[in-house]
Amino acid sequence: MELCIGSGSSVKALLNLNPSRPSLSLIRTTSLSLSDPFLQFKNRASSSLRLPFHPCQRQFLQPNLSQLHGNCCRFVALASSSSSSSVAPGAEKDKLPASIEVTETEEPNSRLKLSIEVPPAVCDDCYNKVIREFMKLSKIPGFRPGKRVPESILVDYVGKKNVQKATVESILKRTLPHAMSSVTDRALRDSIRIVTKFSDMEQTYSSLNSLRYDIIVDVAPQIKWIPEDGYKNLKIVVEIDSDIDAQKASEQELKRRHKSLGTLRIVTDRGLQIGDVAVLDISATTTDEDESNVQKIPSAESKGFHFDTEDGDKVLPGFLDSIIGIQSGETRSFPLVFPESWRQENLRGVHAQFTVECKELFYRELPELDDSLADKLIPGCTTLEQVKKALLQRCLEVEQTAKDQATDNAILDQLCKMVEVDIPQSLFEEQGRQLYGANLLEIQAKMKLSDEQLASLSSQKTVNEYLETQRENITRLIKQNLAVGDIFKRENLQFSSDDLIKEVENSITEFKHQKQEYDEDRVREQVQEILEGAKVLEWLKEYAEIQYITR
């Protein structure tokens, strides 16, 4: 309940939680694990949640014509296969009888607009090729297969409109590689779109025997460092949560394990004291002079909440003090204010009226903490001192891991502030869909979703809402990834090919063990991304001035 942990109850609320990890590439600096939600969406529709690409490693491809325009009727596509097939990545450009004219215009968000003028000579050549294709495929009564058919008869048989559509498709297919040649090495995959309406192109071709069309394409964004090379001498302040202090954490863990060996006894003759455990029904409403504005606070409500009074520092300030002395069967009502530092933003500063009913009250009967409990506290230990040392060692490892993660996060946050970049919309949407897909899969792993819930959460509307609410976070992650990739290239950093091979093999083994589908090329890209991120963070920490403070 919101009283102590700030978690919402709805699935959509869970999906919109800000991910604590900076990015897939930067969180696994040691043990890699690619059986990750980021790698599991296989749907490749234009609005799908897609497999992630490191922004600095995106493949630069020529466009797939069938994705750019699917307007040609099925008969025409079949009859003129040479004019409607996809433009394969890296395909050689077809030689044209005349040059086309391409004008580039820069647009916001690292986008280019290409305006292409196709002269009549090219259009005529494409028309002749389409006619030859139709002649091969058409079976016209009165003419033997393969025999030359007068053009007018062929056009009447196929239909002038169909010939025109096929010709426009042929022009696009043949001229597109030439139009894209100046940006092929910069164009982001799946970002290329023909924005001119097909009907407008048909009209232009029909009336002028030439063609003009516009393309928009997102290109790899340029990173500007402020100051230039400022990442080489970072000054980082890392805040460490006091809860991860190894000594303190080990003492708390020993206390928790000791309590687990105790017995709960019902309290019958007194009220609640520190050390007791109470079973509470809790409800809360906002307070307002106008009663019509009073609202329930669902996330602060709970039935049968087991409250350990020794965890009083983890709940809303003032809550424990307000129920000290409450007896079983008693109900209390009292006002509290959610602090400005409260985890759930919409409750910060809210004045609330709490109603608490004590259903049951217990005290603990604990065995004496001595060597006789050692094996029960940690199997294999014979003395209490061994237990304390073992717990401290474990907590030291946790503390170091948390410290390393906090350091990585602080460095990444600093890098984000030092770069200016015009992020392409296609890159933003891709990163956002990755995060959304990861969150959705994690929720599916934790709870069973009905078909109706899954359909709702997978809808374009829901995904778009997520992209908008998480815009700041998504933008931050992209800037971090771009900054890290740029540093890797600038400093000529490298990682061992043996490490790459080993981690790819480990990841594939993990996928097979969990009986999950995987794409080996994708896995390799992901591992490479992770290793690059780890190498950059290692390099940055070596040259950075890092100060640790406890909060």
Identify whether residues 216 and 114 lie together within a single domain.
Answer: yes
Name the nearest CA neighbour of 123 among 184, 69, 202, 180: 202
CA 255 to chain CA centroid, Å, is: 39
Residue 174 CB neighbour total at 10 angstroms: 22
The domain that holds 290 is classified in CATH as: 3.10.50.40
For residue 130, tell me if it sits in a domain. yes
Tens-digit pLDDT profile for the chain (551 aa)?
555 544 333 444 445 544 433 333 333 333 333 333 333 222 322 222 222 333 333 333 333 443 444 333 323 333 333 333 333 334 467 889 999 999 999 999 999 999 999 999 999 999 999 998 888 888 888 787 767 888 888 889 899 999 999 999 999 999 999 999 989 888 887 889 999 999 999 999 999 999 999 999 999 999 999 988 889 989 999 988 877 788 988 998 999 999 999 999 999 899 999 999 999 999 999 987 667 778 888 888 889 999 999 888 788 999 999 999 999 999 999 999 999 988 888 888 999 999 999 999 999 999 999 999 999 999 999 999 999 999 999 999 998 999 999 999 999 999 999 999 999 999 999 899 989 988 888 888 777 878 888 888 888 999 999 999 999 999 999 999 999 999 999 999 999 999 999 999 999 998 888 787 888 888 898 899 899 999 999 999 999 999 988 87
For residue 91, tell me if it sits in a domain. no
Tokens of 176: 């597109």
DSSP 187: B
Q: Distance (Å, rounded) from C-alpha 221 to C-alpha 483?
A: 11
* Beta pairing, strands 235-240 & 277-286: unpaired
The domain that holds 518 is classified in CATH as: 1.10.3120
Q: What is the per-residue pLDDT for 241?
A: 80
Tokens of 18: 């800000």
For residue 40, tell me if it sits in a domain. no
Identify whether residues 392 and 360 lie together within a single domain.
Answer: no
Identify whether residues 426 and 545 lie together within a single domain.
Answer: yes
Scan for tokens 């495929």, then name that residue: 137
β partners of residue 285: 296, 353
Residues spanned by the domain of 155: 101-220
The domain that holds 119 is classified in CATH as: 3.30.70.1050
Tokens of 104: 């580039």
Identify whether residues 163 and 192 lie together within a single domain.
Answer: yes
Residue 273 CB neighbour total at 10 angstroms: 12
What angle (nearest 5°) sits at the alpha carbon of residue 91, between those of residues 90 and 93? 120
Q: Is 286:293 a contact under the CB 8 Å cutoff?
A: yes
Q: Distance (Å, rounded) from C-alpha 181 to C-alpha 35?
A: 38
Q: Distance (Å, rounded) from C-alpha 291 to C-alpha 294?
A: 5
For residue 442, tell me if it sits in a domain. yes
The one-letter amino acid at 120:
P
Identify whether residues 427 and 541 lie together within a single domain.
Answer: yes
Identify whether residues 439 and 359 lie together within a single domain.
Answer: no
Identify whether residues 348 and 433 lie together within a single domain.
Answer: no
DSSP 470: T
* pTM (2 d.p.): 0.65
For residue 235, tell me if it sits in a domain. no
Identify whether residues 288 and 216 lie together within a single domain.
Answer: no
For residue 527, tell me if it sits in a domain. yes
Identify whether residues 314 and 424 lie together within a single domain.
Answer: no
Name the nearest CA neighbour of 16 among 387, 529, 436: 436
Identify whether residues 180 and 212 lie together within a single domain.
Answer: yes
For residue 36, tell me if it sits in a domain. no
For residue 28, tell me if it sits in a domain. no
Q: Distance (Å, rounded) from C-alpha 422 to C-alpha 479?
A: 10
Name the nearest CA neighbour of 492 among 543, 532, 542: 532
Tally of domains in the chain: 3
